[in-house]
Structure formats: structure tokens, C-alpha cells
Structure 1
Amino acid sequence: MSEFLAEIIGTMILIIFGGGVVGGVNLKKSIAEGAGWIVVTVGWGLAVTMGVYAVGSVSGAHLNPAVTLGFAAVGEFPWDKVPMYITAQMIGAFIGACIVFFQYLPHWRETEDQGAKLAVFSTGPAIKSTYSNLVSEIIGTFVLVMGLMFIGANQFTEGLNPAIVGLLIVAIGLSLGGTTGYAINPARDLGPRIAHAILPIIGKGGSNWGYAWIPVIGPVIGGIYGGLFYHAIFTGDLSLAFWIVSAVIAVILIAALNSELKKKNTQVSNVKKAI
């Protein structure tokens, strides 16, 4: 099997299990309907575990453009392979989403909530706030890539690494996922979102393209910074790229805080006017 095919297959498996668990929890008349957030996070953790077990020995099982870019940014993955890996990941995510669509074929008709249908394919914010949503995706993916480097620096019993990576995904979902649904993976969000837009899903509504850039750009920034930060702190490699990305993230953090303060001041002003 080629690395290209491996990344397609691994990412497809990721989305089949990950999108599948959201479908089971969200869609009407599913036996798993209403099972809750813990089930979703465990399902995604197992999804990553199975994807890594499937193709880790062939491609390293990145399954995520943010991981590919994060490792490339610090010289742990060749840049000339990056376009091929990202293309494969996008294809695999799209195929996986199409399989999930067919898995739940009669349930689309039974589910009236358009947001619940879209959630099977892609993420969305609990509270819509552009800069804060972007920060959430940056932090989640930063923790992911840095965590993968932590895991890689330790020795585990042979065959245990994929399970440890899966636990990392569960931890991120439980602790950080409640704000934006933790895409932490541009392919995981964009590939299925395209599938949602194309597939003949009964009563599906829009694909929320106005939000779609956040789970792409946020993970890219967070993934690259996770790799740069790990190398800066643990190996002393304070590269120019580290300082540039640090500055970009600082600007985003300030913008997020400023946006929330403005909203708070507006709320206070409106209350005073009402009184």
C-alpha cells in the first residue's frame, strides 16, 4: 500500500467511526439517540485509534493536515510530501462522510433539526464568536500536536501507541471540545462539509460556509505552533518561525478578548437603556 492510499484509508476510517457516533447520538430514531457528549468524545477517540492502527505502519497515520504541517514545520516530516498527504486526507474524509450518509439513510428523513444533520458532518460553535472560536480551535490543535510529540518521546509496549493517541483525543474532547466541537483537523471538517453540501440529504439546510474557515485556519495555526512550541521548549530551537507564529497568536488572543469586552459593554449599555 502506498502512503497516499494509506492516508485515504486511515482518514476514511476516522470519519466513519467519528461521524458515525455523532449520527447515532444526533439523528432521530437511532438507538443511540441522546447518548450524549461523553459517548461522542469516546467515539472520536476510538475513531482515531482505529485509523492509526490501520495505516500507522505505512504512512505514520497523520490523518490530519494540521498534524502533517506541524511535523513538517519542525523538520520531522518532508515538505515535498505535504501536498500529497493533505490531498489524501481530504479525499478520505469525503469518502468517510459519504459512507456515514448511507449508514443513516432512513434517519435523515426522520430528523427535522437541520443543525443536528450538519453536526454529523462538520463542527459548529456553541456560542458564535469569531475570534474566540478561532482561539478554541488553535488551542485544541496545539495540544493535539504537542501531545503527539510527547507521546513520541516515550516508549510504550509495542502496539500501544495508537490507544494512547486515542486517549489524547478523548481528553481534548472532554476538556476543550465544548466550545466548537473540536474539529482540530481541517480535513475532518472540510471534507465532510463538502459531502454535506453535495449529498441529497433530505431537509438538510445550509452547510454553514461562513463558519467553515475557522476549523481549517485554527487547526493549521495550532498544529504548526504545537510543533514549534515543543521544539522551542524541549530542544531549545527558538526559530524565527516560532516567534512569528507566537506573535500571530498573541494578536488573535488580544482580538478575541477585545471582542468579548466590547460585547459585554454593549450588553451593559443595553440594560441601562432598558432601565
Structure 2
Amino acid sequence: MSSSDIFIGETIGTAILILLGGGVVAAVTLKASKARNAGWLAITLGWGFAVMTAVYVAGPLSGAHLNPAVTVGLAIKDGDWSNVPVYFAGELLGAMIGATLVWLAYYGQFQAHLTDREIVGGPDAEDSKAKAVEAQEKGAGPVLGVFSTGPEIRQTVQNLATEIIGTFVLVIAVLTQGLNDEGNGLGILGGLIVALVVVSIGLSLGGPTGYAINPARDLGPRIVHALLPLPNKGGSDWGYAWIPIAGPLIGGAIAAGVYNVAFA
């Protein structure tokens, strides 16, 4: 694989991942969406199908890492770090593009949601207003969850541990699926299996933090949220942002270490 193939594949694949994954969160969350309140199962299935689609698209070009934690895990497993910066760049750029496309696809819903008094906390909705003020003090805006993750209970050690554990499961599953015949990524069956693993992680471990399990998936859209001209969008919660970066990278590294000891 050339560096240009890797960069293009990771950019396109991660953009599709975030477009479909962030899109299902927007569909379930935003006012005036036909899928509003469809629930956590819809979100976990949507993210699983997003992973599957992105793997099939990006696989022929880059091997479809789509996730810096996967890139780090494979680099530790193989001892080859030469293309890691290229993977990271494509993944982050793709995540930002995907988040921007979600905003465009749901533009009207974002506007309706963020101008609704009950959601942003108008004078006739004191309880909602108090919740909105509390969220603002924590730095999380009322639509930040469409773009990035956040904990239900803010406990740094628990939040970090949850991301480490979830990412460990993801990366060990990727590593044990093996590489395709070209040696550059998951095959067709591997892509399906990993997508189902992502659904399982979401259902079993996603409740505490929203299961980022991917630094680019969280950081890229969080940057886009900070830059977008959305009304009443609130903060981007930068105080929490290091956890969905550090946790997945640690989890991916641990998974690679376990793989090298137990499976290699």
C-alpha cells in the first residue's frame, strides 16, 4: 500500500463511519427527526452497520483501520510504525468530514432542536432550563452527543477504565480476525464480525461513556462541533475530551500486548 492509498482510504472510510454513526445518533436525538426516540438499540445497530460499511469501502485501499487505537494495536503487533502518522491523519480528517456531513444532512433538525425552548431551557420550562445550565457548566452543549461522547457519571478513573476495556475488546477482536490475503486489512467476513463486536460493545459497555473506543471518532467531530455556527449549541466539553483519546489508545496497546503474548 502506498501512503496516498492509505490516506485516501482512511479519509473516505472514516468519513463514512462518522456519517452513518453520527447520523443515527442525530436521527434518534434531534427534534423533527422521523426516528426520534428510537432508542439505544437503534444507535448500537446503526454504529455497527456504519463500521461494516466503512470497512468494506476502505479495506481495498488502506486495510480499513478507521481508528487510531486499531492502528496502534497493529503497529505494536507487527513492529512497523512507518505509516502510523498517515493513518492518523486520514482518520482525523475523515472524522471531521463525516461530522460535517451529518450537520448538512440534519441541518433543519439541528436548527429546530436548538431553538426549542424545552430543549435549550426557556422561561416556561424551569426544569429543562436548570438542566441546560448544569450541562453548560459541565461544558456539554445540548447537541454535543451527536458529535462526540460524554459520561453519564463523571468519574475520571471509571470513565477512563470503561474506554480502555471497551477498546481492548474491539482491538483484540480485530487482531484475532487476522489479515486478508494481501496482508493489509480485514477481509469480508472479518469486517462483518468486527461490526457485530462493535454492536456488542455498545450494548454491553456503552452505557457509562457512550463507547467512543476510537480517538478520531471523538476528537474530529468534537472539533467540528466547536467550529459549527449552530444556535445555542453550548460548549464542546474539552475538559472530558482527553479520556476518549487516551482510553482507546491504552486499550489498543494492551490488546496488542496480550495478542503478542497469547496468540502470536
Bin for the TM-score computed over the shorter chain = 0.7 to 0.9
Partner residue, 2:134: none
Identify which of 184, 190, 195 aligns with 1:166.
195
- Residue 196 of structure 1 corresponds to 225
Match of 2:84 in 1: 82
Match of 1:38 among 36, 41, 48: 41
CA distance in 2, matches of 1:26, 1:127: 20
- The Cα shift of 1:153 comes to 7.7
Larger radius of gyration: 1
1:149 aligns with 2:178: no
**Any conservation in 2 of the 1:45–1:170 contact (CA below 8 Å)?**
yes
Q: How does 1:85-234 map to 2 (within 5 A)?
A: 85-112=87-114, 113=119, 115-152=141-178, 159-234=188-263
> Secondary structure of the residue that 1:33 maps to in structure 2?
coil
What is the identity, as a one-letter code, of the residue corresponding to 1:109?
Q
Give ranges in structure 1 of 5+ residues lacking alignment: 236-275
Cα RMSD of the aligned pairs, angstroms, is: 1.7
Q: Distance in 1 between the 2:144 and 2:179 partners? A: 38
**TM-score scaled to structure 2, two decimals?**
0.84
Whole-angstrom CA distance in 2 between matches of 1:154 and 1:164: 14
What are the Cα deviations for residues 144-176 of structure 1, in whole angstroms up to 9, with x where unaligned?
A: 000112222899xx7322111110110111111
Counterpart among 56, 59, 64 of residue 56 in structure 1: 59
Q: Does the CA-based 8 Å contact 1:27-1:116 persist in structure 2?
A: no
2:75 alignment partner AA? A
Q: Deviations over 1:153-212 (max 9, x none)?
A: 899xx7322111110110111111111000000000000000000011121000000000
Whole-Å separation in 2 of the counterparts to 1:116 and 1:185: 22
TM-score (norm 1): 0.81
Aligned length, in residue pairs? 232
Letter paired with 1:149: L
Instruction: Give distance in 2, aligned partners of 1:71 and 1:105.
Output: 37
Contact kept? 1:49, 1:165, Cα under 8 Å: yes
| Residues 173 and 182 in structure 1, CA contact (< 8 A), matched pair in contact too | yes
Are the aligned partners of 2:170 and 2:194 in contact in 1 as well (CA < 8 Å)?
A: no
Q: Structure 1 residue aligned with 2:8, among 5, 8, 17?
A: 5
Q: 1:109 touches 1:203 (CA, 8 Å); kept in 2?
A: no
In structure 2, the gaps of 5 or more residues are 121-140, 182-186
The letter of the residue matching 1:90 is L
Opposite residue 71 of structure 1, the aligned amino acid is L
Q: Deviations over 1:86-135 (max 9, x none)?
A: 01100000000000001110111221446441000000001110111000
Equivalent AA in structure 1 for residue 26 of structure 2: G
Fraction of identical pairs, as percent: 54
Checking the alignment, whether the CA contact within 8 Å between 1:118 and 1:196 is kept in structure 2 is yes
